[in-house]
Structure 1
């Protein structure tokens, strides 16, 4: 039984007539959540929801929304609060300021769907996706401190509950995109491939609505192609489980329509994609463009770390763990943090290390400290995965 058959088996429809039962999207979300791993289901109704004219979500807010959908899982349609650790949102950044900005952006952004009025006439429904949120603001010791809590609006929950289609997304890929347009097109492509509808076609107004491109941005199509389409394609081809191509349809010299084609990657390409999203984002653009990587965590090899360790052993004094930043004045500890920490902020790892070691840290020095710090960095990465 392959993964698709297993999911179909796991999401057998509920008995007919149960008005409170969720649609297929939520049943798949629950199955993927129970399975574990990096894949999660985003309801097709939420993928296809349109921004109100002149509004769109930033990349960071779009990522937060994806993480909210992932965290809520098969319960996203229920009328209850959902909770997430701030550490799962920060992804290595020490400050919480951006979390407040992202929550406020989600609150004030309006979305629109086609609906019916109370008289049965065609109408446009405008709504927000979250109705309320709570953010812990008290400072606590430890890297795991701090949570947010939110509730989806009744309109959003109704769309989520009734959705029979879904896009299976990869958490690491979602967090890896650097263009909000690429992330949106990734979601659309994943949804259409699941529907076995590999083509999307629309005019310029539909394209802007699809990707959330403001009317006053990239008015010239050559600029839109360069700033949006080419960048989105490059990121999707590198991070998604499919490739995207597009065709420009013209009337005279004017581009009037766009046709996207989404094509699943073959097995070798899939493996390369899995390897890429597991790597740190540093150097990703260079890898995409086949350039030599000049800045990458992988450049600090185990041999280099060993050389630094040897240097400290034979130096004037043994290595001790600093009370402040480890970025300056402790080359060995910083190099180990970058190499074994998988790309996490090395001072964030250091804070967690100090919290775990407590008073014992003052007694550790030299080779024992280096061995302890290396092991902690490796376990930190194993627990959290790559940022």
Structure 2
């Protein structure tokens, strides 16, 4: 494994903030083991591992560099910078599942908090304000926490002295208060599994993520690409060569989606690279001349990560400090506009952001259900509605498309509750999504 050129070599461990003891609890959810998964093994220098060549691997260091760096970083910076083990960066959800964008961001904060305690096996308390940002409600927080609890990660790297691939459950338990919507003081309480903590403790390489940059990322694909780049761009060999299937898994592309590489590239990879290049201290490229082809089929690609020059890095910092409104426009126009151009376009409406991923649409509907339950919309009706997706209308607006399990549900929702649902959706999305469509599973309805 090649050494890293990172300046943040493991400092001496300093005192770390202690996790607060639990107060009044809700329901503690127990750990349930999951099934195995073969996974894909990747060396941190980008090459695939020959699993027959596992001799002379380093013995497990029960307190690796990552744990020491995480403790020192938390003491110095709090949540301004987050430390994540390289093995966790190159992991992906098992069995073709996905973690939503809010869940992925929350998990990074949770891992960093555990790092402040050298990844000790204990119950942790994470303040809601750390993960909530400007969102004032608590609904999506606990939905994201449940996602993490129900997920397993395929993790790659040294494990108990051998180069391994393993499916690890992330959380052994978490607490979900009964009054989570009303009570703002009920922070997030969770405990990692032994295996997940041991992997973090033994790690020797890490990614140092910027908390302010990470929370501004708007897609699951861009977030994973950002994490990989932050782990690699200061290394001696910052390129990463991957076969297409491995790339799909690392970026959390839904299983079976975007099977054609051209569509995969335009819908996920290219968009993610543009967003990462706007917010990260590095630039990522996928050169055409480094693609491996068999006939017309692309079998392998190389991602190159290069640190930005001083002037471009300064502009990146300023972009992160700007309001998110208009960020997509600035990406498309190559940066900030001249004052004259700003004056000419000030009266024009900002173009809408990219359509949310399917998992984010699910999270939106989960939040809406909580809010609608407080507005006397019948629970059975809400439970009979499932998410199809978010789509643009002919007028350029956006709507949430819901499918009803019964034709009567769709008709009742349309006739009696559509106005209420539209108000709630508009409130949760700051007006971005203000329409709803009800479909029935019956053909012709």
TM bin (shorter chain): 0.5 to 0.7
Contact 1:25 1:163 in 2 (8 A): yes
Structure 2 counterpart of 1:94: 136
From the superposition, tell whether residues 121 and 19 of structure 1 become closer, same or farther in structure 2 (CA, over 3 Å): closer
Larger Rg: 1
TM-score, with length taken from structure 2: 0.59
**C-alpha displacement of 1:212:** 1.9
**204, 214, 218: which one aligns with 1:178:** 218
Superposed, 1:78-227 pairs within 5 Å as: 78-113=120-155, 124-138=165-179, 145-227=185-267
Question: 2:295 & 2:61 partners in 1: Cα distance?
Answer: 53
TM-score, with length taken from structure 1: 0.67
From the superposition, tell whether residues 21 and 219 of structure 1 become closer, same or farther in structure 2 (CA, over 3 Å): closer
Structure 2 counterpart of 1:30: 71
**C-alpha displacement of 1:51:** 2.5
Structure 2 counterpart of 1:276: 319
In structure 1, list runs of 5 or more residues that go unmatched: 13-17, 297-346, 348-387
From the superposition, tell whether residues 213 and 76 of structure 1 become closer, same or farther in structure 2 (CA, over 3 Å): farther
Structure 2 counterpart of 1:251: 294
**C-alpha displacement of 1:211:** 1.4
Contact 1:166 1:194 in 2 (8 A): no
Contact 2:155 2:165 in 1 (8 A): yes
* Counterpart secondary structure, 1:10: coil
Question: 1:238 & 1:42 partners in 2: Cα distance?
Answer: 22
Question: 1:159 & 1:65 partners in 2: Cα distance?
Answer: 15
Question: 1:225 & 1:137 partners in 2: Cα distance?
Answer: 43
**C-alpha displacement of 1:285:** 0.7
From the superposition, tell whether residues 261 and 134 of structure 1 become closer, same or farther in structure 2 (CA, over 3 Å): same
Contact 1:76 1:157 in 2 (8 A): no
**C-alpha displacement of 1:145:** 2.4
Q: Please state which structure has a larger fraction of its residues in helix.
A: 1
Question: 1:114 & 1:4 partners in 2: Cα distance?
Answer: 21
Question: 2:159 & 2:234 partners in 1: Cα distance?
Answer: 31
From the superposition, tell whether residues 206 and 24 of structure 1 become closer, same or farther in structure 2 (CA, over 3 Å): same
**C-alpha displacement of 1:197:** 2.5
**C-alpha displacement of 1:130:** 1.3
1:45 and 2:87 aligned: yes
Q: Deviations over 1:284-334 (max 9, x none)?
A: 1111112756568xxxxxxxxxxxxxxxxxxxxxxxxxxxxxxxxxxxxxx
Structure 1 counterpart of 2:99: 57
* Counterpart secondary structure, 1:131: strand
Q: Deviations over 1:232-264 (max 9, x none)?
A: 111110001100000332222111111100000
Q: Deviations over 1:337-362 (max 9, x none)?
A: xxxxxxxxxx9xxxxxxxxxxxxxxx
Question: 1:212 & 1:25 partners in 2: Cα distance?
Answer: 24
**C-alpha displacement of 1:139:** 6.6
From the superposition, tell whether residues 49 and 9 of structure 1 become closer, same or farther in structure 2 (CA, over 3 Å): closer
* 130-139 vs 257-266, greater mean Cα deviation: 130-139
**C-alpha displacement of 1:121:** 11
Contact 1:52 1:110 in 2 (8 A): yes
**C-alpha displacement of 1:206:** 1.4
**C-alpha displacement of 1:82:** 1.3
* Counterpart secondary structure, 1:184: helix
Question: 1:31 & 1:115 partners in 2: Cα distance?
Answer: 24
Contact 1:165 1:195 in 2 (8 A): no
Question: 2:305 & 2:181 partners in 1: Cα distance?
Answer: 46
Q: Deviations over 1:258-291 (max 9, x none)?
A: 1100000011111111111112212111111127
| Coordinate RMSD, CA, aligned | 3.2
Contact 2:234 2:307 in 1 (8 A): no
